[in-house]
Amino acid sequence: MSVLLYLAAGAVSFYVIVYYGVFKGAGCSSSVKLKGKTAIVTGGNTGIGKATALDLAKRGARVILACRNREKAEAAAFDIRRESANSQVVFMQLDLMSLKSVRSFAETLLKTEPRLDILINNAGVMGPGRTEDGFGIAFGVNHLGHFLLTNLLLERLQQCGPSRVVTVAARLHCFGNIDFPLLASKKDSVSDSVSPSAWQNFRAYCSSKLCNVLFTRELANRLEGTNVTCYCLHPGVIYTELFRSMSRWQQILMMPFAKLFFMDPEGGSQTTLYCALQEGIEPLSGRYFSNCALQQVGAKGRDDALAKKLWEVSERLTSLS
């Protein structure tokens, strides 16, 4: 019996050490209030996006949930209004799979919202398929949709400065790659396939996260000297609806491990909130954060020439140039 107790105690100790030492992230300690400020959270109807929106609402911000699914977003807005006691939480239609929808969203917002202080590019997908414009879904949604959205809203952000753009990337950007010839011919960062494998979907996701990092780096260069700063981040290892693209058996295998070790959405929102709210990090515009602290990015993520080329290609793909 004593041996079993020792084993149980050892297992619990191992779990605590691994969870708190590896998986559980730091918390955002900022006490900043946001009354009179307006924030947009893409994908704010679920997961870390919803947790981020709730925190911003509790601080008094007007929060716009920019989402594709009206029913889910309106339900999320209702939940956040009730929990935060803030009536200024609203849904606006945005489908990042459609550049036309991105333009429509931006046009409507600029006509109806006098302020924009925080833009949080949170929405992300991983899986097969293509956007309305024919791009691979990960590249099209995670990078290109947010690239266009940010550019269309930059002038309003500058008018309301100091303001911030926060883009949720991932540590997986280190495994990403940008094949420009392939992108030009296939509108995707991985080779085309009638039935893409899980590995191809994973590679495309990693590459889209590299795009997030490079986009933030070049955006900071272009915003130098203005009152708008930008940051990207790794939110932590979180079990969210991003995993809905997995097959059923993969989800079943993943779930026990996820329940034990992965952070919940509130924990996953902390570095996003840090980048959006923390005072004094303005000189670090363009940099990458994790666990509410500055972190080094992979070598490709520090390549200014690559960042500039991606920007120019993205301008052409979104008809901004």
205 noted as active-site residue: yes
Q: Which residues pair with 39 in a beta bridge?
A: 63, 118
Contact 242, 46 (CB under 8 A): no
* Cis preceding-peptide flag for 181 (omega within 30 of 0): no
Q: Could you tell me the two tokens for 294?
A: 């500055």
For tokens 């879904």, name the residue. 137
Contact 219, 230 (CB under 8 A): yes
Rounded to whole angstroms, how far apart are CA atoms 172 and 153? 28
Rounded to whole angstroms, how far apart are CA atoms 312 and 306? 10
Of 66, 204, 184, nearest in space to 138 by CA: 204
Rounded to whole angstroms, how far apart are CA atoms 65 and 260? 30
Contact 40, 118 (CB under 8 A): yes
DSSP 93-128: E--TT-HHHHHHHHHHHHHH-S---EEEE-----SS
Residue tagged active-site, from 15, 19, 20, 205: 205
* Strand ranges of the sheet holding 288-290, from the earlier edge strand across to the other edge: 89-93, 62-67, 38-42, 118-121, 163-168, 228-234, 288-290, 293-295
Name the residues annotated as catalytic: 205
